[in-house]
Amino acid sequence: MQALVNARVLTPKGYKDKQSVVFKDGVIVAVCDDEVRSANATILQDLGGGELIPGFVDVQVNGGGGVLFNDYPTVEGIKTIGEAHRKFGTTGFFPTLISDDLDVMARAIEAVDMAIQQGVPGVLGIHLEGPFLNVEKKGVHDPSKIKTIGANELALMSSLKAGKTIITLAPEKTTPDIISALHARGIIVCAGHTQASYDETMIAMDAGLTGFTHLFNAMRAMESRRPGIIAAALEDKRGWCGIIADGHHVHWAMLRLALRAKVGDQVFLVTDAMPSVGAMQKEFSIGGDAIIVNDGKCMTVDGRLAGSDLDMIGAVLNAVDHLNVDFPQAVRMASILPARFVNMQDRLGEIRVGLQADLILLSVDQKVEKTWIKGQAIS
């Protein structure tokens, strides 16, 4: 057994001071007062009263460290992206592929399988954001890549052997039977880049859709007589809503209203991060489109948002500053809530016995000083 001692630990019941977190084989076996910690545990570090919080889980990571997953659908590409985001507290992530050809999708799925098999830290599965979208809400997705789901596509989307698969699709561009088939295969189905009506969304949820990718963005607007997909997402307790809390994608007032309106504790943070996160070079390209990053905002030359330059600790602090939530709740929105969304709450998301020792040490000014994944110090 190994232990981190003398910490201020954010537990599911709130902060506790002068705590030890003891783990064995990467799993937490005790969270206890320092004076009663096991004498058999090797003390890895005395944290000097430092703040220890659960590692962040990000289900939408397009890139980082100068790498876009679409351009580098390889184990090395995944490693680079993960390393960039760990500096900001992300200990679990889903490499996210935006709309692309089926051969690129196959390579990305194979790379994630290999990364998990090789033990690349933090990889939880893959998020396929497209290409089964509505071209009217394509954003920066290449319209030539957008297609409908057939038997070959269904088989490909179901081919990941390790970890979990998230699919973002436009409900109105497929059928309830296909959504039901995806759900039956253990795939987490989300709606995004869509013009779906309220009724179409409810039918999709009845078939197994549970998630909403970057709520408000690339979705039909909510109107008084046409409530659309956003109203369905906020009203129905089956729906989990990811939000990009960067101040560019959605006005803070709209996110505050969403938090008030949403049934249940089911709004969580995502970054939708691009290669600029954790990279010195901020400019990059997507499918030939040059992307300029200015003051944290990723834009094409013709003014379209292109993902984000947001990291997870930044999203957490933004939530505290702008969404009327306290720091523990903001951390929950970046840890246990996304873990619940992907049905991994029995493995990730909190500092408690039986879960992985995925941990973040914060400085006094709430910067990430160090992270552990399965009890191993990573940064």
Going by their DSSP bridges, the two strands 164-169 and 56-61 should be labelled as unpaired
Contact 274, 283 (CB under 8 A): no
34 is catalytic: no
Q: From the CB of residue 233, how many other CB atoms can be counted at a distance below 10 Å? A: 30
Indicate the Cα dihedral angle 338, 343, 346, 347, nearest 10°: -70
Q: From the CB of residue 329, how many other CB atoms can be counted at a distance below 10 Å? A: 16
3-state secondary structure of 335: coil
According to DSSP, residue 164 is labeled: E
* Exposure b/e, 129-161, CB count within 10 A at least 16 = b: bbbbbbeebbbbbbeebbeebeeebbebbbebe
Q: What span, in angstroms and rounded, lies between the C-alpha atoms of 104 and 68?
A: 13
Q: From the CB of residue 267, how many other CB atoms can be counted at a distance below 10 Å? A: 25
Indicate the Cα dihedral angle 319, 253, 130, 295, nearest 10°: -70
According to DSSP, residue 143 is labeled: G
Catalytic residue among 272, 309, 311, 358: 272
Contact 306, 320 (CB under 8 A): no
Residues across the chain? 379
Q: What span, in angstroms and rounded, lies between the C-alpha atoms of 166 and 169?
A: 10
Amino acid letter for position 15: Y
- Please tell me whether the peptide bond between 227 and the residue prior to it is cis, using omega within 30 degrees of 0: no
Indicate the Cα dihedral angle 41, 46, 48, 52, nearest 10°: -70
Residues recognised as catalytic: 272
